[in-house]
């Protein structure tokens, strides 16, 4: 006889796609195991191709968001910006995208057209070109309307190399804006929640923001967009990869009032809700002010802030300190609060 | 009131993914329309990125084959070789792959592991590196076990540029081996057909073969792998793109006896059945013998042959001539005979 929990471990669960512990374990046990290669650092969202000058970076993401259209975007804008942002998080300039559609039989052609058109608009905004594509059709009941994959290639046109191993004690952690909008926008749309004010996804391309920081001469140490698993999972991953402790000031993390209220009602913590246009940057504390100034100039209405600092506690841990000085440890969730968010 | 046929045109049908007329129309009307760009020739399976030296090529394919495992391969070998071959058909050396998994909840982890491992083995054989990846999970009933996307980047390390516009009257058309194995292997496996002798898919990486022809100094004009839609659809597409007529000698097109018998029983023409390790090459007629010699040396047991020639009939048409001299026009099918073959 097999107990339930044993059976569960041997099959894929929704939580395996959620950006938390279970997904990390699947990637380590199955994919890293199969694809490990001594010359390539393929544990990142985007891989460095040490090949030509300038250095190239390659990345991919599939998108299975439900519903396909939501306030502030659709699966197409998500598919372009998601991949553009993975390149941006290596401080690369995104150049080329490929797109693969898996369409369910019965999907309206008009839906496919709308998605393709919004991909083109998003690509133009992000200054990338969709150069090649592929279409597959699966029988009714074997898809969910439309899945989209994008892969992207970018180039690093400067000497800065960013990543978790460049994080240093004393670094400031700057968050580019308020969190939780994308997840709540998709969820509200899916569940037809009536929010006080409709929340729009924060879905946006981040490369121009990052490259503006680079051009300003700031010594960026590490960048991370806050998608599946939200701010908390992203920071826990970076803390573990760098071996350092991050101490956050909870009150410095901005959450829109409507997003906070929706999270409250739904029993979610905004720290774990997905974003598609927010990132954290680690850099020397004395440069944080300049970074905030530049980001705020570029994105009127979005308030970046210093949310914490890196400390050497001989332990890889993320700690949130409340306004009253209480500390609690932030961990990754096992799975995700919200499946099919991207 | 809307008639059935009108309603059908507005929704995606399986035939839209079949490699025939309907897929071509969807690509033209929806995707080419949305993604057209003056500087990029993105109508090919793989796009030239006129960026660095050597020139780079980028491509993508999603794989939805059913069943996941079949004689001679699985969705993983297919996903690696399919993308490697799209790069090879631009005479590029495949270098880097990305991989995106869309996994259905409930899929055994062991299945994912087997697929990842066979991707690694196929990548090693084809001398490419899987540098980055992504995993999404969809609810039970919204996938079919596992879909895999790969994107690939390669480089062109010589001055040869191949494509339909380089095809010339007088060119010989060389076919690299017998046709129909992949489609019949998958179909037999799916339908549990009892064949006399089990047919294995021809799934194989083609880049080393193509690069051997290039190294031998042959003036390749055009290359094409014969996947969805088979030999017939591939040739019709090239004929239309080049504006030239192709005249084929039917008896020169090799079909294994068991494949031919299976096609007979199933009412299929082997000309339209998918291959995953066969291609045609267009080159000056006086170089065809050398190409055949090289291909035969490299692939013992596989018999390449000259199957026809390019003629200028002021009409883009593919004609098959029987042993008795009877001529018939070969057209693309509307959809595909066999859905979910790759």
Whether A296 is covered by a domain: the verdict is: yes
What tokens were used for A228? 């599946």
The per-residue pLDDT for A184 is 96
Q: Domain total for chain B?
A: 2
User: Which residues 81-140 in chain B show a CB within 8 A of chain A?
Assistant: 95-96, 98-110, 112-113, 116-117, 119-120, 123, 129-139
- Say if residue B216 is in the same domain as residue B326: yes
Decide if A7 touches B, using CB distance below 8 A: no
The per-residue pLDDT for A116 is 97
Could you list the beta-strand ranges (E) of A68-145: 69-70, 73-74, 93-104, 129-138
> CA angle, corner A96, sides to A90 and A99, nearest 5?
110
Whether A13 is covered by a domain: the verdict is: no
- Say if residue B180 is in the same domain as residue B243: yes
Domain that holds residue A86: 37-156
> How big is the A-B interface in CB pairs under 8 Å?
267
User: Which residues 141-170 in chain A show a CB within 8 A of chain B?
Assistant: 141-144, 147, 149, 151, 153
The per-residue pLDDT for A5 is 47
Measured between beta carbons, the chain A residues lying within 8 angstroms of B99 are 35, 60
Whether B24 is covered by a domain: the verdict is: no
Whether A278 is covered by a domain: the verdict is: yes
Residue with the bigger pLDDT between B27 and A172: it is A172
Domain stops at, among A129, A156, A183: A156
What does the pLDDT look like over A249-297, one tens digit per residue? 999 999 999 999 999 998 999 999 999 999 999 999 999 999 999 999 9
Answer yes or no: is pLDDT of A231 > 50.
Answer: yes
- Say if residue A245 is in the same domain as residue A268: yes
Q: Is the dihedral of CA A301, A78, A88, B27 positive or negative?
A: negative
Percent of chain A predicted with pLDDT > 70: 95
Residue with the bigger pLDDT between B337 and A235: it is A235
Interface pTM, i.e. ipTM = 0.94
- Say if residue B122 is in the same domain as residue B179: no
- Say if residue A78 is in the same domain as residue A204: no
Decide if B253 touches A, using CB distance below 8 A: no
User: What's the CA gap between A330 and A248, in Å, rounded?
Assistant: 10
- Say if residue A257 is in the same domain as residue A209: yes
Answer yes or no: is pLDDT of A40 > 80.
Answer: no
Domain stops at, among B156, B180, B206: B156
**Domain CATH number, residue A71:** 3.30.1330.10
User: What's the CA gap between B1 and A323, in Å, rounded?
Assistant: 65
Answer yes or no: is pLDDT of A215 > 90.
Answer: yes
- Inter-chain CB proximity A58 and B132 less than 8 Å: yes
- Say if residue A99 is in the same domain as residue A188: no
- Say if residue A297 is in the same domain as residue A226: yes
What tokens were used for A24? 């990390």
Q: A52 pLDDT band (50/70/90 cuts)?
A: low
Measured between beta carbons, the chain B residues lying within 8 angstroms of A151 are 58, 60, 98, 100, 149, 151
> CA angle, corner A186, sides to A19 and A111, nearest 5?
110
Q: A335 pLDDT band (50/70/90 cuts)?
A: confident
Whether B336 is covered by a domain: the verdict is: no
- Say if residue B45 is in the same domain as residue B103: yes
Cα pseudo-dihedral B219, B220, B221, B225, rounded to 10: 180
The per-residue pLDDT for A43 is 61
The per-residue pLDDT for B7 is 46
**Domain CATH number, residue A294:** 3.90.650.10
pTM tops 0.90, yes or no: yes
Whether B88 is covered by a domain: the verdict is: yes
Which stretches of chain B score pLDDT less than 70? 1-7, 41-44, 50-53, 336-337
Answer yes or no: is pLDDT of A192 > 70.
Answer: yes
When CB atoms are compared, the residue of B35, B149, B340 closest to A149 is: B149
Q: What is the DSSP string of B171-212?
A: EEEEE-S---HHHHHHHHHHHT---SSPPPP-----HHHHHH
Whether A341 is covered by a domain: the verdict is: no
- Say if residue B152 is in the same domain as residue B200: no
- Say if residue B169 is in the same domain as residue B287: yes
- Inter-chain CB proximity B12 and A104 less than 8 Å: yes
Domain stops at, among B108, B128, B156: B156
Whether B29 is covered by a domain: the verdict is: no
- Say if residue A169 is in the same domain as residue A236: yes
Answer yes or no: is pLDDT of A210 > 50.
Answer: yes
Answer yes or no: is pLDDT of A133 > 80.
Answer: yes
């Amino acid at each position: 006889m097999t107990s339930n929990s044993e059976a569960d471990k041997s099959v894929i669960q929704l939580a395996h796609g959620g950006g938390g512990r279970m997904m990390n374990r699947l990637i380590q046990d199955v994919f890293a195991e199969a694809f490990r290669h001594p010359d390539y650092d393929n544990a990142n969202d985007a891989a460095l191709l040490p090949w030509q000058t300038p250095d190239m970076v390659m990345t991919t993401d599939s998108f299975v968001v439900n519903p396909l259209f939501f306030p502030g975007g659709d699966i197409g804008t998500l598919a372009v910006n998601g991949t553009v942002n993975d390149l941006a998080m290596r401080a690369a300039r995104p150049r080329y995208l490929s797109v693969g559609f898996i369409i369910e039989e019965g999907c309206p052609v008009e839906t496919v057209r709308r998605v393709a058109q919004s991909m083109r608009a998003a690509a133009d905004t992000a200054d990338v070109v969709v150069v090649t594509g592929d279409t597959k059709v699966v029988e009714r009941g074997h898809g969910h309307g439309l899945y989209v994959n994008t892969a992207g290639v970018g180039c690093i046109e400067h000497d800065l190399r960013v990543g978790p191993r460049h994080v240093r004690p004393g670094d400031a952690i700057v968050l580019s804006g308020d969190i939780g909008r994308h997840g709540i926008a998709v969820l509200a749309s899916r569940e037809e929640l009536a929010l006080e004010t409709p929340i729009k996804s924060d879905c946006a391309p981040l490369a121009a923001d990052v490259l503006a920081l680079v051009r300003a001469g700031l010594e960026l140490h590490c960048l991370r967009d806050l998608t599946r698993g939200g701010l908390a999972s992203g920071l826990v991953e970076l803390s573990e990869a760098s071996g350092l402790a991050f101490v956050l000031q909870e009150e410095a993390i901005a959450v829109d009032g409507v997003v906070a209220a929706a999270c409250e009602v739904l029993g979610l913590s905004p720290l774990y809700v997905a974003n598609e246009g927010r990132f954290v940057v680690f850099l020397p504390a004395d440069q944080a002010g300049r970074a905030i100034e530049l980001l705020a100039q570029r994105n009127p209405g979005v308030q970046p802030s210093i949310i914490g600092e890196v400390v050497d506690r001989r332990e890889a841990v993320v700690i949130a300190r409340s306004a009253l000085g209480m500390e609690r440890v932030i961990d990754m969730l096992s799975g995700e609060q919200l499946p099919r968010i991207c």
